Structure 1
Amino acid sequence: MYHSTGHGRGAEQAPLLRPTIATIQSHPPPRHRHKRNGRHPVPVFSIIFTLILLLIVAFLAWDVSSYGHCYVTPLCRALSGRNGLEQTWWRNQGPYAPFRPLGPGGGKKGLPKGCEISQITILHRHAARYPTSSVGECLLSAMKKLENRDVQIPRRHPELAFLARTDLKLKAWDFDGLTDQGRKQSWISGRQVKQMYGSFLRNAEGIFTRSSGGERVVETSGYWLEGFRGERFKLRDVSKLPKVDLVIPEGEAYNNTLSVHSCPAFQNLSPKPSELRFSDLSPLLEPTLNRLNAVLKPRPALEMDDLVCLADMCGYDSQSKGTEWEGWSKWCGTFTKDEWEIFGHGKDLKRWYDLGETSRYGPTMGAGYVIELLARLTDSDVIDNTTTNHTLDSDERTFPKGGKRLFVDFGHDNEMLETISALGLLTEHRPLPTTSVPPKRTYILSRIVPFGARMVFERVSCKMGNWEPDPEAGSPLRDDQGNDGKRDYIRILINDKIESGNHPSCEFSGLANFGLCELDSFVDSQQFARQDVDWSICYEEYDETDENQRG
């Protein structure tokens, strides 16, 4: 390229750049340029990267901890963070846990060749509900204290930050009523039972349903029937739901095996065993109570009753929104894993000491339903002097005599626990500890009576041929319906998991590996309900402190 040295046409053109030897020689290249000034460049990028990495690691460590919420779900599950938290939360919600099947279920699954179901009885708890009115009062009292807290958003406690934006007034909560998730849960249960026992139902004599008279129980039965009949799920007014064959009123004036309120000695017992036993355990929660009071500074301070009610918010709030499960509530992160084990064990021991196998009244109040069950299984009349309703149970229209039917009874969790105690199922080797949490808990209410729990009794008829599973049995084989070459068995499932009968003849049954117990052996094992139960104790004065002193 050139530039002009003049202004005329004949101006001389010269190169724009004209390097000379002198110029080049006057500026020799510096030696060892990379050592200029004797300093290294500052590694800014490395420092920033390291800081970001540390922040990510810190966040992930918090996220998979008991205080975190597992936003990075795959990592949490891989590290048993979220999965472990969810198991902890579910296990310790007691009777307020959402339903989870514990096994593959019944029907043809697991039955040996030549065996078929000849009768089914289902004892079904109502589905997910809001707190009862009494628990609701406790919750609102605790929430009022939290509303008046001095610390709105506590520093270094992100697990409590949700309190600043959550509804502490529980405005939309319908105490005592079903949640929409519970309604959908009932419908799903009915559909599942229809699918599970479809082959049996095609040749059955029909279905007979009963419900205790509580509104949430009746509503559960209505949605269950819709699912069972294959109808599309839709939220409806209770009056437009299908009706069960028989609704039995609740209350002290009625004999009702699905809602026992006719044992005045138990109803009037004060203090109840649960209150005495939990008072032994509650000191373990004092550090938790002190922690929340110190961090939040509620006015007035939270007390132990408030703390127990707030723990219930985990299960209740998780099932309060919409018809589908959307995950666990932020309330669940309020407590650590160790604290949750204390809360959960507290729920378990309360019911066990009130209604469990060694309680004074639990098995007695459950004996009536066992008698009704035995009458169905053996196609015979009900003979009982406890909680059965003689007027209803003596009428074929309100209590069909066994046969090849599906019976479904809708009730409450307490009655299910009483029935289990009377049957002798889920027995413990020793009393539940009341001053500590055992390292391995075996009596866990969330596995026994969660919302929507179901207990299934299958009568199974097996063609034995020339094989005799019971060497003590006579010959020829006949079942209770007079069919040669067959024997009747029973299989019991709690939340789709097979439970063995508590009797040596059941444990050593030839078909014990299939969860089957000879029906006659099972009937013999129910000595308590058939002969030993003493209903008169429900009308005697009794001091629970005497029982407490006996240990």
Structure 2
Amino acid sequence: MVGTLGVIWAALSSVLTLASWPLFVPAHDPFSSAHDTFELQKSWGVYSPFHAVAEYSPPPQGCEISQVNILHRHGARLPSVSQSEDILSGVNKLQSVQVYTDSRLDFMNTFVYSLGENLLVPLGAMQSFESGENAFRRYSSLVQEDDIPFVRASGMSRVVETAKNWTAGFATASNDVYSPRLSLILSEEGNDTLQDNNCPNAASSHREMNQWLDVYGPPITSRLNSWAPGANLTNDDIHGLMMLCAFHTVASVPYGYKAGSPLPFSPFCSLFTPAEFESFEYSSDLDKYYSTGYGGHLGRVQGVGYINELLARLTASPVVDHTSTNTTLDSDPATFPLNRTIYADFTHDSPLIAVFGTLGLFNTPKLSTTHPEPTRGWRASEMMTFSTRMVVEKLICDQSIRGRGVSNAYVRIMVNEVAQPLTFCGAKETGPRKGLCRFDAFLESQSYARHNGEGDWEKCFI
């Protein structure tokens, strides 16, 4: 029962804060019957609930997994302090209006805003628990009594609780035979490869997001102001209210929700069309691309420390890094062991995006701030949902794959179950060995990390 108690504890720790909330389900469905409400969830960008983008593909015949590294974003949460301020601005303006001209705003007459800030919500706890269960079922052959997952988390409470729920799910799936624990919590006040606050000169994405908001926001702002005469909503208020649709929805999901079931949508969602949410989703794409992504000044370098830790684990050799690693912790076998088959690290969205860039994943040309490319490969709702996970598998394949005398070790990377192409290290793009990169070629491809960001790290401080 250790695992079950673990997830209930973490879920209740949020429920105690949320107990007084009213649960909102729209009295009418603003979307046509042809519109898939599950698709709506996927248009909230980085606030989208986790969904597998593809079905997991087992290793090709002749290959066995020998090591797994999981880098995991925290589960669904409440808004941050700054997000709460943006949300409340719009809510207060709407509630200052005496008469609404559209019935979709009538719920505001009795609405009481009572969301807290930053905490993991029950849906986030359940997402993490299910992720831990899946990890055990998929990789149970790697687990032994003296070799259970080594688990770390960045120090913010929602990340710590996500890690604890993951270990609870892992234990439950094993019938409590294997009960990993959260072995290390990294302080966010110092060097922390699971946080993105170590580079003072890093870029902000506010300018790019505002440029896009100036394109898609005005028609929505005009419409809502016509529904609420005198509210004087701004484009920023619209962005806050669209965020509230996502946050209010994930916070209203009760404990016991089954993955794939319809969510109890917040009535704020009914204020916007599916096409408008697609525009809102693009704001997340721009946010991550121009902050710690490829378009952000000093974005990629913020993932170097974690990648050098990953390379150390894959090669069973000491960490070599002069960027964001904590050298005291990484040089101690108790806090950075090199003899485990499963490692799980829990983090935030921005550090994970930086890691993608350091690795070379999702390499995308510059994103327009006025005209989204419909076929773009950089979509936050696919690569950075709540509870996103990147999994790096090391595989050992029989000699027939490469021939005698050639290394038979390979690397494969999944992001939300999608096997990444890894063309930067020679992986095939089709066929049964799709996405398999020779181990030595993968190591060679990570020269940016192995050379400490090739001078970019120093730019963080000058």
TM-score (norm 2): 0.86
CA RMSD, Structure 1 to Structure 2 (Å): 2.4
- AA at the equivalent of 1:433: S
What's the CA shift for 1:341? Answer: 2.0
Which segments of 5 or more consecutive residues in structure 2 lack a partner in the other structure?
1-27
CA distance in 1, matches of 2:228, 2:174: 47
CA distance in 1, matches of 2:454, 2:341: 28
Identity score, percent: 32
Matches within 5 A, 1:211-230: 211-230=153-172
What's the CA shift for 1:202? Answer: 4.7
Does the residue aligned with 1:539 lie in a helix, a strand or coil?
A: coil
CA contact (8 A) 1:125 1:452 kept: yes
Greater mean alpha carbon deviation, residues 383-392 or residues 500-509? 500-509
What's the CA shift for 1:170? Answer: 2.0
CA contact (8 A) 2:132 2:167 kept: yes
Deviation per CA, 1:470-511, whole angstroms, max 9, x where unpaired?
Answer: xxxxx5234xxxxxxxx11011000111112141522479x8
What's the CA shift for 1:394? Answer: 0.7
CA distance in 2, matches of 1:134, 1:279: 16
**Residue 97 of structure 1 is aligned with which of 48, 57, 82?**
48
The reply to whether residue 386 of structure 1 matches residue 328 of structure 2 is: no
Aligned to 1:409: 345
**Residue 454 of structure 1 is aligned with which of 380, 389, 393?**
389
Aligned to 2:438: 518
Does the residue aligned with 2:182 lie in a helix, a strand or coil?
A: coil
Aligned to 1:82: 35
CA distance in 2, matches of 1:391, 1:215: 23
**Residue 118 of structure 1 is aligned with which of 53, 66, 91?**
66
- AA at the equivalent of 1:116: E
Aligned to 1:278: 209
Aligned to 1:134: 82
The reply to whether residue 476 of structure 1 matches residue 394 of structure 2 is: no
**Residue 262 of structure 1 is aligned with which of 182, 198, 205?**
198
CA distance in 2, matches of 1:507, 1:248: 37
Which segments of 5 or more consecutive residues in structure 1 lack a partner in the other structure?
1-65, 71-75, 234-240, 470-474, 479-486, 541-551
Aligned to 1:170: 113
- AA at the equivalent of 1:170: Y
Deviation per CA, 1:31-77, whole angstroms, max 9, x where unpaired?
Answer: xxxxxxxxxxxxxxxxxxxxxxxxxxxxxxxxxxx97246xxxxx2x
CA distance in 2, matches of 1:204, 1:464: 29
CA contact (8 A) 2:285 2:379 kept: yes
CA distance in 1, matches of 2:287, 2:164: 31
CA contact (8 A) 1:424 1:502 kept: no
Counting matched residue pairs gives 423
Deviation per CA, 1:116-149, whole angstroms, max 9, x where unpaired?
Answer: 1100000011111010111112212221111111
TM-score (norm 1): 0.72
CA distance in 1, matches of 2:160, 2:133: 17
Deviation per CA, 1:219-253, whole angstroms, max 9, x where unpaired?
Answer: 111111111100799xxxxxxx98511111012xx
- AA at the equivalent of 1:462: C
CA contact (8 A) 1:356 1:362 kept: yes
Larger RCO, structure (CA 8 Å, separation 6 or more)? 2
Cα distance change, pair 298–319 in 1 and its aligned pair in 2 (3 A): farther
Aligned to 2:9: none
Matches within 5 A, 1:57-76: 68-69=30-31, 76=33
- AA at the equivalent of 1:290: S
Does the residue aligned with 1:455 lie in a helix, a strand or coil?
A: strand
What's the CA shift for 1:113? Answer: 2.2
Cα distance change, pair 506–462 in 1 and its aligned pair in 2 (3 A): same
CA distance in 2, matches of 1:110, 1:298: 58
CA distance in 2, matches of 1:133, 1:360: 25
CA distance in 2, matches of 1:203, 1:116: 20
**Residue 316 of structure 1 is aligned with which of 247, 251, 260?**
247
Cα distance change, pair 162–533 in 1 and its aligned pair in 2 (3 A): farther
CA distance in 1, matches of 2:196, 2:294: 17
CA contact (8 A) 2:152 2:344 kept: yes
The reply to whether residue 494 of structure 1 matches residue 415 of structure 2 is: yes
CA distance in 2, matches of 1:232, 1:490: 26
CA contact (8 A) 1:492 1:499 kept: yes
CA contact (8 A) 1:289 1:304 kept: yes
Deviation per CA, 1:92-125, whole angstroms, max 9, x where unpaired?
Answer: 21111000011222xxx43222211100000011
Does the residue aligned with 1:450 lie in a helix, a strand or coil?
A: coil
**Residue 398 of structure 2 is aligned with which of 447, 460, 463?**
463
Greater C-alpha radius of gyration: 1
CA contact (8 A) 1:367 1:533 kept: no
